[in-house]
């Protein structure tokens, strides 16, 4: 990557390296490879690919072919968010296509632990997502096996939705669990992330912000979209905690 655009916010409660994960659902599909390379040049460490099946969510988007096409174009981590049912039918294909992290939904399978084991057996990082109406307590039995917890801040299936403020309490709850158990696990939020909501998510304990329109829809380009989101978190971190260090 050409430069680092992560942000460290330090305070009494936590010390978080904040990262932006551009969601290619909001990219220009006619220039998808080019837009992913722009994200890489902006200094992010990953992009998120939303895999939707028209069953778990009403929309249909990318599949393994999209990941396979993107894999040789970038050194970024490819984070596959599986909004599919059952995820077990997709995990191996998505892994073979080049995903580095595979996120499954708690609501999509009765055998969540088995799905996590499968992801790890394929040599990939495992994440679990929960919908806005799903209690964080549904993750208590598996959080110790995860590299990432994704708290959906909108209902999955479409981009451009309004941030659901009530989900911030779950972000805090998950962050507290991770801190109490000293786990090496990221807390990610996805949905309605922009200049006003990004700082609130970070304050609650998120350290990875999935952003689509705020990044790919920025009139000044992808790099400006990433930088503006981090700058908003930095300003908020200084106000809230008195310190904020750019990497």
pLDDT, one tens digit per residue, over 75-110 is 999 999 999 999 999 999 999 999 999 999 999 999
Q: Where are the domains of the chain?
A: 7-246
In 3D space, the residue among 17, 20, 68, 7 whose CA is nearest the CA of residue 216 turns out to be 20
Q: Let me know: does 21 contact 30? Beta carbons within 8 Å.
A: no
pLDDT over 50 at 60, yes or no: yes
- Give per-residue burial for 201-231: e unless 16+ CB within 10 Å, then b: bbbbbbbbbbbbbbbbbbeeebbebbbbbbe
Question: In which band, very low, low, confident or very high, does the pLDDT at 21 lie, cut at 50, 70 and 90?
Answer: very high
Residues 189-233 have pLDDT tens digits of 999 999 999 999 999 999 999 999 999 999 999 999 999 999 999
List 17's β-bridge partners, or say none: 8
From residue 214, give the alpha-carbon distance in Å to each of 132, 150, 209, 245: 21, 19, 11, 22
Annotation marks residue 190 as catalytic:
yes
Question: pLDDT, tens digit, for every residue of 176-191?
Answer: 999 999 999 999 999 9
Concatenated DSSP letters of 84-136: -SSGGGTHHHHHHHT-SEEEEEGGG-S-HHHHHHHHHHTT-EEEEEE-TTS-G
45, 50, 100, 184: the active-site residue: 50
For residues 110 and 206, give the distance between their C-alpha atoms in angstroms, rounded to a whole number. 26
Instruction: Quickly state the pLDDT bin for 1 (edges 50, 70, 90).
Output: very low
Quote the mean pLDDT of the chain: 91
pLDDT bucket at 235, cuts 50 / 70 / 90: confident
Confidence of residue 10 (pLDDT cuts 50, 70, 90): low
pLDDT band at residue 161, thresholds of 50, 70 and 90? confident
| 247 — pLDDT class (breaks 50, 70, 90) | very low
Q: How confident is the model at residue 14 (pLDDT cuts 50, 70, 90)?
A: low
Name the fold adopted by 7-246.
TIM Barrel (3.20.20)
Q: What share of the chain is helix, strand, coil (3-state, %, to 5)?
A: 45, 25, 35
Reduced to 3 states (helix: H, G, I; strand: E, B; else coil), residue 26 is helix
Comparing C-alpha atoms, which of 128, 51, 66, 73 is closest to residue 97?
66
**Mean pLDDT along residues 129-148:** 97
Instruction: Answer whether residue 16 shows pLDDT above 50.
Output: yes
Q: For the purposes of burial, counting CB atoms within 10 Å of the CB of 32, is it exposed (0-12), middle (13-18) or buried (19 or more)?
A: middle
89, 100, 190, 220: which is the annotated catalytic residue?
190
pLDDT band, very low/low/confident/very high, at 238 (cuts 50, 70, 90): low
Instruction: Tell me if 196 sits within 8 A of 209, measured CB to CB.
Output: no
């Amino acid at each position: 990557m050409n430069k680092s655009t992560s942000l460290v916010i330090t305070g009494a409660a936590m010390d978080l390296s904040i990262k932006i994960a551009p969601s290619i659902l909001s990219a220009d599909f006619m220039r998808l490879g080019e837009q992913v390379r722009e994200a890489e040049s902006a200094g992010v460490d990953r992009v998120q690919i939303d895999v939707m099946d028209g069953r778990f969510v009403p929309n249909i988007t990318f599949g393994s072919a999209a990941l396979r096409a993107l894999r040789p174009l970038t050194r970024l981590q490819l984070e596959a968010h599986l909004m599919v049912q059952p995820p077990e039918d997709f995990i191996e294909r998505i892994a073979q296509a080049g995903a580095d992290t595979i996120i499954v939904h708690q609501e999509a399978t009765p055998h969540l632990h088995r799905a996590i084991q499968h992801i790890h057996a394929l040599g990939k990082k495992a994440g679990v997502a929960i919908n806005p109406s799903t209690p964080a307590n549904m993750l208590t039995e598996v959080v110790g096996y995860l590299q990432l917890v994704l708290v959906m801040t909108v209902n999955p299936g479409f981009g451009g939705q309004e941030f659901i403020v009530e989900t911030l309490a779950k972000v805090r709850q998950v962050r507290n669990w991770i801190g109490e158990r000293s786990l090496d696990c990221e807390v990610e939020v996805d949905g309605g992330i922009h200049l006003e909501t990004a700082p609130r998510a970070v304050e609650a304990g998120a350290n990875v912000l999935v952003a689509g329109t705020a990044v790919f829809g920025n009139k000044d380009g992808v790099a400006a979209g990433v930088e503006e989101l981090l700058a908003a978190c930095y300003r908020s971190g200084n106000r809230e905690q008195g310190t904020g260090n750019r990497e």
